[in-house]
Chain A
Amino acid sequence: MLRIRVGLVLSSTVFLLVALSGFAAAQDSRAAVIGAEQAEKARTLAPYVPNAAERIMVTLQREVLQDPSGMYPLFASVYSGGGFTLGGGYRRFYGDRTHADVKGLYSIKSYKQVELSTDSWGHANGRLDLHARAGWRDATQVAFHGLSMAAPEDETNFRMKQAYVGGDVTAHPTPWTVAGLGLSFEDFNLESGTGASPSIETAHTPATAPGLGDNPAYLHLAAAGGIDTRASPGYARSGALYGLTYHNYTDRNDTYSFDRLDAEIVQHIPILRENWVVSLHGLVQTTLNDDDTVPYFLLPSLGGGSTLRGFSGWRFRDRTSLLMSGEFRWIPSRLALDMALFYDTGKVTPRLHDLSFKGLASDFGIGIRFHGPLATPLRIDLARSREGMHLVFSGGAAF
């Protein structure tokens, strides 16, 4: 046993000496030193294995961008005032740029929506987009304060269920011009609100809430045209929108038919290479015929995250509205972060010629926006008005 062990150690030692001598000899040149290092690596070669973060990022891109068919999460709104909303959808392409979607949304206020849609993009050499959709939504507690700027701060609420089916076409005759035409059938069913405030019928009559108690169904025609030089409606630091939209709501019973015209201006004025941006927004919505009766839930309104941010949603309603907003934006990070000081002002009136710059409701505030090149996934605005502070969380640009 002793002989065997001693022999084993001696032979191992001889091998070691030979090997080490060989190693020493092999490193008798700089090239050999480097060669030895490469030989050592050659013994431990391994294929590249992406780490967990890279694998997740690659998977997300593949599922969302490269193979967009299938299930997807949805962050959207059922109806203004619904609160935080989540949902999901399923998409199936049946053409290069044509897909069908089925999706559903649910909010913390039990607002809900289901929709089946199809969208087809880029026809006529990229100038025409076609859309069609059918769906149903339920807004359980939409606020109603009454008509005019004198409406009280105390609110009532109503429940609005809407079934709809329709389609539209959007055209870009040139890169800077946009036109749209849409036709849809919209069937409204109004019920008592489920919110904490009193339901609308307990405080209002058809005299103060036109159409209260009725459930009109409309053929809704919309035609729009304008100039849009913004990089994207979702996020822009320069460019402008000058647009007009005409709405014709034809009531099935012709009781509540009306026409409305929306005129909108957005102008982004970059300063010092977009270090600052002055962004201006003007919007007038007016019912065209003073004799028409517009139901309370389709009246132009102000208040909420995209209009008068210092007031609650749907705070002011009437047949005509005027909104003017200005933002002084600065850009801490061109990649992802904007800040803004803003001022909103506006009013509602029964008739267009009643509009003036007197009696405006105003607010001001500060906002932070996390954005990408073309979209604003998260906007947080803190606004103050005579009715207190309001915090806005939104998944879109202010304008």
Chain B
Amino acid sequence: MIRTSAPSALYALCVLGAVALLTATPAGNGRKFYDDDPLAREPETENAAGVKPWDIDLFYDLAENLFAHPGDPAPAGRARNVNTIDEVPDSNWFTNRVLARPLSIDELSRGPLTGSGPAPGTWSVVRPKQAGAAPGFTMRDATGELWFVSFDANGFPEAATGAILVANKIFWGLGYWQLENFLVTIRVDQLAIADSAKVRPPSGTERPMKMKDIQDVLKRAHRGADGTYRAIAARAVPGTPLGGFRYYGTRPDDPNDVVPHEHRRELRALKVFGAWTNLTDMKAGNTLDALVTADGRGTVRHYLQDVGSTFGTGANAPHEYDDGFEFLYDGGLTMKRLVTFGFFLQPWQTAAYADVPAIGRFESTVFDPLTWKPRVPTAAFLRARDDDSFWAARRVMAFSDEMIRAAVKTGQYSDPQAAQHLGDMLIARRNKIGRAYLNAINPVVNVTLDETGTLAFENAAVSAGVAAAPGGGYVIQWARYDNNTGATTPIGASTAAATLATPAPAALPSERGAYVKVEIRAVQPPNPSWGAPVTAYFKRTGGWTLVGLERMP
């Protein structure tokens, strides 16, 4: 009897003790905020040195996203990589730049560039371009540094290269890891073939590269009147290239990649950034992971490698008319067009495009940010919620006209009309994005509580000029917040505030470490979504520190 029951009883007792010990610990899981909240940088605690390169097949990626709808089947919840104040911490995915800090024109114009372009002298071609549709090749400059070169397609001068240069600066400013793209002019006589260079002709049998192979590439590229070629030279990224990333799931061999990509806010936000810039070609093949090692530890950095299929142009020609308006395949639309003999018309069929060849088909009149679509349904886009889009729209709106014109200037378009048109369209589309997304949700931002007990905040929609100040003002409800239990104790009744600054109740807790919760609603009858509260949490430190912000449950 004893032999059988005593160990079980002891075991149960000890387990119960352990459970009791854990739940009694203040650092238990019931706690809403930790001392290091809000995180400014996403932790990457594990060594990812074992991660291996992979190839995500282009056609499989296309077919899977078009027809299989990959990713988390559960309804999209809050983005899982945001910190407690609803912001995206810096990481190997994203770096807070525009909106998070002042971004000078010079800084934006330089973008990701850290040095100068390829060293002059003989450039040795290593291999033809292996991915993407644009003509190009890989080469080493006179110092042996590796560069990826891509050209404007024949007949479309400045289109692809201009788009790459401008989009490169914009997406860097938005916070994405970008390649260092330099505009170069190439003469055929400065090219040589590296001894190790190999090509795979249509026969499929690899052989040493010949000058004719380079000529075949250049035949597809636009040749200037002086016989030179305008091209982009992209510096090879630091570290070991690992292939692209998918817009869903995680990389199984990267220990630090624990948030499914469809639940990463900066990837969901590409729905808005893509709409702004018409970045329609969102696929794994246009992304790049690289293993970077520092202090003996490896982490995986995630680049938006190719953002050149933007504005109105693709790598080889202007965008199709329906780019940005429809997925490559949409079963519902297909059926509607089939049974109506094609009379189920779509906006792209009547959109007017300016005749600016260097920019392609890029307009702002018919453009609707709410219905914009990339070519292929992207798992992260499909799960973007209003708070993700709001977060993104604020960054788009943070690009001033001057910043946009500065980014466009880096495209070095020879036709001033091209630069003017591109800038005009980006500004107009930016404004549409602001109107669409800043109004879709309670736009209270930048909530602070100072030592004197003054609560201040801003209204992002009003500040951006896309909405009038709420006629009914703001309604504010204060409460004590118990960080361990989640219990709230109202502090007085809700109060109305006509302005963006209002005194807090006198009864705010004074003890260090105490928390208060503030719910702020905007009363704007035409905009009922503003009535849902933005909830801010402050912790008593020396003064009051914002530790939490929730825009949507």
Distance (whole angstroms) from the CB of B4 to the closest CB of chain A: 9
Known: A9-B10, A24-B28, A337-B334. A30 touches B18 (CB 8 A): no
| Residue pair B3, A30 in contact (C-beta under 8 Å) | no
Measured between beta carbons, the chain A residues less than 8 angstroms from B482 are: none
Report B12-49 CB contacts with A as 1/0, cut-off 8 Å.
00110110011001011100001111010011111000
Binds B, one of A35-43, A144-152, A165-173, A283-291: A35-43
Measured between beta carbons, the chain A residues less than 8 angstroms from B258 are: 34, 37-38, 41
Distance (whole angstroms) from the CB of B335 to the closest CB of chain A: 7
Binds A, one of B202-210, B392-400, B496-504: B202-210
Known: A31-B36, A66-B200. A45 touches B253 (CB 8 A): yes
| Residue pair B34, A29 in contact (C-beta under 8 Å) | yes
| Residue pair B202, A68 in contact (C-beta under 8 Å) | yes
Report A60-80 CB contacts with B as 1/0, cut-off 8 Å.
010000111100000000000
Binds A, one of B57-65, B98-106, B304-312, B462-470: B57-65
Does B219 sit within 8 A of A, measured CB to CB?
yes
A-B contact count (CB 8 A): 185
Q: Considering the complex, which residues of chain A in the window 110-137 have a beta carbon less than 8 Å from any beta carbon of chain B?
A: 121, 125-126
| Residue pair B342, A16 in contact (C-beta under 8 Å) | no
Does A27 sit within 8 A of B, measured CB to CB?
yes
Nearest B residue to A23 via CB reads B22
Distance (whole angstroms) from the CB of B479 to the closest CB of chain A: 23
| Residue pair B7, A5 in contact (C-beta under 8 Å) | yes
| Residue pair A21, B200 in contact (C-beta under 8 Å) | no
| Residue pair B201, A38 in contact (C-beta under 8 Å) | no
Cα distance A320–B198 when bound, in Å?
A: 55
Determine which of B2, B36, B202 lies in contact with A29 in the assembled complex, contact meaning CB atoms within 8 Å.
B36
Measured between beta carbons, the chain B residues less than 8 angstroms from A38 are: 43-46, 255-256, 258
Measured between beta carbons, the chain A residues less than 8 angstroms from B328 are: 334-335
Distance (whole angstroms) from the CB of A153 to the closest CB of chain B: 33
Measured between beta carbons, the chain A residues less than 8 angstroms from B29 are: 27
| Residue pair B255, A41 in contact (C-beta under 8 Å) | yes
Binds B, one of A95-103, A183-191, A198-206, A354-362: A95-103
Does A53 sit within 8 A of B, measured CB to CB?
yes
Does B451 sit within 8 A of A, measured CB to CB?
no
| Residue pair A125, B338 in contact (C-beta under 8 Å) | no
| Residue pair A33, B34 in contact (C-beta under 8 Å) | yes
Report B330-358 CB contacts with A as 1/0, cut-off 8 Å.
10011101100110010011100000000
Chain B contact surface mostly: loop
| Residue pair B204, A273 in contact (C-beta under 8 Å) | no
| Residue pair B28, A93 in contact (C-beta under 8 Å) | no
Does A6 sit within 8 A of B, measured CB to CB?
yes
Distance (whole angstroms) from the CB of A350 to the closest CB of chain B: 41
Does A197 sit within 8 A of B, measured CB to CB?
no
Known: A17-B18, A29-B35, A38-B46. A69 touches B204 (CB 8 A): yes
Distance (whole angstroms) from the CB of A238 to the closest CB of chain B: 12
Measured between beta carbons, the chain A residues less than 8 angstroms from B3 are: 1-2, 5
Does B415 sit within 8 A of A, measured CB to CB?
no
Distance (whole angstroms) from the CB of A264 to the closest CB of chain B: 27
Measured between beta carbons, the chain B residues less than 8 angstroms from A35 are: 43, 45-46
Distance (whole angstroms) from the CB of A64 to the closest CB of chain B: 10
Cα distance A69–B203 when bound, in Å?
A: 7
Does A374 sit within 8 A of B, measured CB to CB?
no
Known: A16-B18, A333-B329. A339 touches B338 (CB 8 A): yes
Cα distance A16–B19 when bound, in Å?
A: 10
Q: Considering the complex, which residues of chain B in the window 242-286 have a beta carbon less than 8 Å from any beta carbon of chain A?
A: 251-258
Q: Considering the complex, which residues of chain A in the window 2-27 have a beta carbon less than 8 Å from any beta carbon of chain B?
A: 2, 5-6, 8-10, 12-13, 16-17, 20-21, 24-25, 27
**Interface core residue of B39, B251, B255 (most chain A CB under 10 Å):** B255
| Residue pair B203, A93 in contact (C-beta under 8 Å) | yes
Known: A1-B3, A45-B255, A96-B201. A13 touches B338 (CB 8 A): no
Measured between beta carbons, the chain B residues less than 8 angstroms from A33 are: 34
Does B457 sit within 8 A of A, measured CB to CB?
no
Known: A33-B34, A276-B342, A333-B329. A20 touches B22 (CB 8 A): yes
Measured between beta carbons, the chain B residues less than 8 angstroms from A41 are: 46, 255-258
Nearest B residue to A271 via CB reads B342
Measured between beta carbons, the chain A residues less than 8 angstroms from B252 are: 45-48
Distance (whole angstroms) from the CB of B401 to the closest CB of chain A: 31
Cα distance A1–B6 when bound, in Å?
A: 12
Measured between beta carbons, the chain A residues less than 8 angstroms from B54 are: 48
Does B238 sit within 8 A of A, measured CB to CB?
no
Distance (whole angstroms) from the CB of B255 to the closest CB of chain A: 4
Distance (whole angstroms) from the CB of A338 to the closest CB of chain B: 10
Distance (whole angstroms) from the CB of B348 to the closest CB of chain A: 7
Cα distance A254–B46 when bound, in Å?
A: 86
| Residue pair B57, A54 in contact (C-beta under 8 Å) | yes
Measured between beta carbons, the chain B residues less than 8 angstroms from A5 are: 3, 6-7
Does B50 sit within 8 A of A, measured CB to CB?
yes
Distance (whole angstroms) from the CB of A339 to the closest CB of chain B: 6
Cα distance A48–B53 when bound, in Å?
A: 9
| Residue pair A275, B45 in contact (C-beta under 8 Å) | no
Determine which of A27, A275, A334 lies in contact with B345 in the assembled complex, contact meaning CB atoms within 8 Å.
A275
| Residue pair B6, A2 in contact (C-beta under 8 Å) | yes
Cα distance A332–B6 when bound, in Å?
A: 75
Measured between beta carbons, the chain A residues less than 8 angstroms from B18 are: 13, 16-17, 20
Does A28 sit within 8 A of B, measured CB to CB?
yes
Cα distance A61–B55 when bound, in Å?
A: 13
Measured between beta carbons, the chain A residues less than 8 angstroms from B42 are: 34
| Residue pair B14, A17 in contact (C-beta under 8 Å) | yes
Nearest B residue to A99 via CB reads B203
What 8 pairs across the A-B complex have the smallest Cβ distances? A330-B342, A13-B14, A93-B203, A96-B201, A42-B255, A35-B45, A332-B338, A67-B204
Q: Which residues of B pack against A, CB within 8 Å?
A: 2-3, 6-7, 10-11, 14-15, 17-18, 21-22, 25, 27-29, 34-37, 39, 42-46, 50, 52, 54, 57, 59-60, 63-64, 83-84, 200-205, 207, 216, 219, 251-258, 320-322, 328-330, 333-335, 337-338, 341-342, 345, 348-350
6 A-B pairs in the complex with CB atoms less than 8 angstroms apart: A13-B14, A17-B21, A35-B45, A45-B254, A93-B204, A275-B349
Additional A-B contact list (16), CB under 8 Å, known A30-B83, A31-B43, A38-B255: A6-B6, A9-B14, A10-B14, A13-B18, A29-B35, A30-B39, A31-B45, A35-B45, A37-B258, A47-B252, A53-B60, A58-B57, A93-B203, A95-B203, A273-B349, A275-B342
